[in-house]
Amino acid sequence: MAPSQHAIKSITPILADKFLFVRIETDTGIVGYGEAGIWSQTHVALSVIERFTDYLVGKNAFDIEHHWNALHRFSYFQGLAINSGISAVDIALWDIKGKALGVPIFELLGGACRTKARVYPHVRGKTLDAILQDARWKVKQGFTAVGHLNPFLDEDKDTVYFKTYAGKMRDAIENVRKVREAVGPDVDIALELHRRLSPTEAITFCDGVKEYFPLFIEDPIRPENPGAMARVAKKIMLPIATGERLCTLYEFHALFEQEALEYARVDPALCGGITGMKKVAALAEAYHIQLVPHNPLSPIGLAACLQVVAAIPNFLIQEYTTALDAESHNEISEHVGANIVDYVPLPEGGFVDIPNRPGLGINLLDDAPTISAPVVLPIKVRKHHDGFIVDQ
């Protein structure tokens, strides 16, 4: 058992909606929550969390850095599923420590650099008209930036795809022009390409949209090869944001060294939790790189982002994942998963207050799985006219 109080008594993975949470309770009755960021493979990460129970039960919940290293180092193998499990546990342990000491997590990370965070909502649509309508509506809600904007459109995966190179580039560039026209000259637009392009296409596209001043170009190509991303970055006049699929500090370091990005899209639910995100932020600061934290998940993941954002100097803007209305399927300004937690910071003038209650400042409701039953996402890809797969 732990030599002091706050020994870990139980670890419980919880599935709700498309989310995977972990609930950790100490022998003193303090409960902490974390979230795993591998949303399409939650069953795998759930098994990882259950595996960690053998090591963690009975240990001191306060020894976060020690546990973080133990879970990373005990085996030869890591990867996205394992590291997302580590991330969920780490976030929950920080939540426990903050609650036990009666302070928000950012106070344990050096104190607040800021009390608010600028945010951008998701703008989505299968047609350009739907995207333009949603973008205008989000601006009317007071947001000063809009994001998750895919100028290549998120069309139905049942639709077979083909466009010529000229048509693909022309249509997407024109779509960006129309978005800029819709939101006005002063609203920032964050373009999310979701690895849709080849390096050649990415260079051409970025050259074509630079006059519309996008805030950044996110994942223009598949992110596995830092050298390829750097090749694109050095040939365009727009900043690249990437990193949402990375799960270690060392992967980010490779991107930083090769000058492959300007904005690091670190996800605390995937890249080692609060501990991992703080390490990436410190490394990024040395390269004058700012963070645009990634969170397509619930308000628990948002809270983890905001607690670190409060305590670092090199922050640009936070993703705020707005939801779809269950009946109309239209975008709304409410954060996805808001119905399964006890609090969500609401945007005002394009900013949210950083939670200052003890720990994360946000708790999962006990009946979350009943409110939003677990969802298993199907394995489905879009086909090209030639029979191969389209990244989308």
Which positions are annotated as active-site residues? 194, 294
CA distance 178 to 182: 6
Q: Write the CA distances from 216 to 187, 290, 291, 350, integer angstroms.
A: 13, 12, 12, 17
CA distance 204 to 170: 10
φ/ψ region of 382 (left if φ > 0, alpha if ψ in -120 to 50, else beta) reads beta
CA distance 74 to 52: 11
Torsion of CA 296, 36, 244, 325, to 10 degrees: -10
SS3 193: coil
Structure tokens that stand for 291 in this block: 């963070």
Nearest partner of 83 among 245, 224, 247, 254, judged by Cα = 247
SS3 373: coil
Is 231 buried (19+), middle (13-18) or exposed (0-12) by CB count in 10 A? middle
Residues 6+ apart with CB under 8 A from 388: none
119-138 burial code (b ≥16 CB/10 A, e <16): bbbbbbbeebebbbbbbbbb
CA distance 20 to 121: 22
Is 195 buried (19+), middle (13-18) or exposed (0-12) by CB count in 10 A? middle
**Tokens 């047609």 map to which residue?**
127
CA distance 331 to 125: 9
